[in-house]
Amino acid sequence: MINRKLIRSLNLFWLFTLSVKVVVAQRIKNDSIVPNSAIRSANYLRPIEIEPHPFILPIAKASVRGSYPMELSYSKTTHIIFPSKIQDFDAGSDVVIATVPEKLLNVLRVKSDTKGFAGETNMTVFTEDGGLFSFLIRYNENPAVFNINISNNMAADGQATTSMGIGQSSNNSPNVYVMEEGNYLEESLKASSLEVLVRKDYIRQVGARKSDLNILLRGIFLDENNVLYLKLDMKNKSLMPYQIDFIKVFVRDKNHIRRMAAQEKEISVLMDYPVSITHLNGLQSLEKVIAIPYSTLSDGKILEIEIYEKAGGRHLKFHLGNDILIKAKRL
């Protein structure tokens, strides 16, 4: 026979449990208590709000660099031509594949590693002259554009950035090159280089010659930003065409003992103007302007300029000492 006290205790426990469920249900109804899973979902959908901080600096529109829209395909390759050699590359996702041809160091080949990737990613390219180029990338199996020449887009970039009020500098130029030696404005470098080309020649018998190809220094000019411009006159006296591959400038020891390592430092070429002209056909002449950051030479040092032929051996090299550099004229 079941103990009546036990039955009574069980009934009381059941009534207590039922009353607790009713109270919880009322609280859920009256106080809008929701399960943890719902709270997590609500937090996920709620926009993130950043509290203002007194020590956080604002990002001004003038400091923002614009980005180019670009579509990539899995089965097709897009080529981007930059104003100078590609120095570094970064992609926001591994779906982007990019390579630089061995003999075309200012060309980037880009395609998608994943067919039909969703969403958007980005890509940034740094060039040897200090240029920074940003791209926003989406997938399209059949892109409308396969070949892009960045140099031909500079004028449009300036108009667009002016209208949007972004990327502006003190002289309204959107293209600011950031380099180890400082900041340089592309439009300012171009304007100064163009002025150097029309300046009168005043230096003679400084240069180099190899295989009927002559290069002579015609003038040295210094602008207010301490950029040094070397005016060069190139003459191809042969019938064989000549194409410039790249130009390098070094500070080297004037005299060093053989078998000992010579101390040298490469100087960044800020601009090689005209940028788009690198061919010198047979029996033709070409004027070039090389812009480099100005720096004085210490004792025993020289400035050496090297011009390399693409897929050829007619490399030209000549050097300048302080006795020549001090002849620089003010722009």
Instruction: Give DSSP secondary structure letters for 99-116.
Output: E--TT-TTEEEEEESSTT
112-121 confidence digits (pLDDT tens): 999 999 999 9
Phi, psi values for residue 247, rounded to 5°: -125, 130
pLDDT at 297: 82
CA geometry: angle 289, 293, 299, nearest 5 deg: 110
For the residues 13-18, what does the mean pLDDT come to? Answer: 53
Radius of gyration for the alpha carbons in the chain, expressed in angstroms and rounded: 33
Note the pLDDT of residue 63.
77
Q: Which domains does the chain have, with CATH numbers?
A: 61-179 (2.60.40.1550), 190-330 (2.60.40)
Which tokens is 257 given? Answer: 């003992």
Q: Does pLDDT of 196 surpass 90?
A: yes
Sign of CA dihedral 135, 128, 210, 295: positive
What pTM does this model have? 0.49
| SS3 (DSSP) at 63 | helix
Helices (H) and strands (E) in the chain, counts: 5, 21
Mean pLDDT, residues 237-246? 89
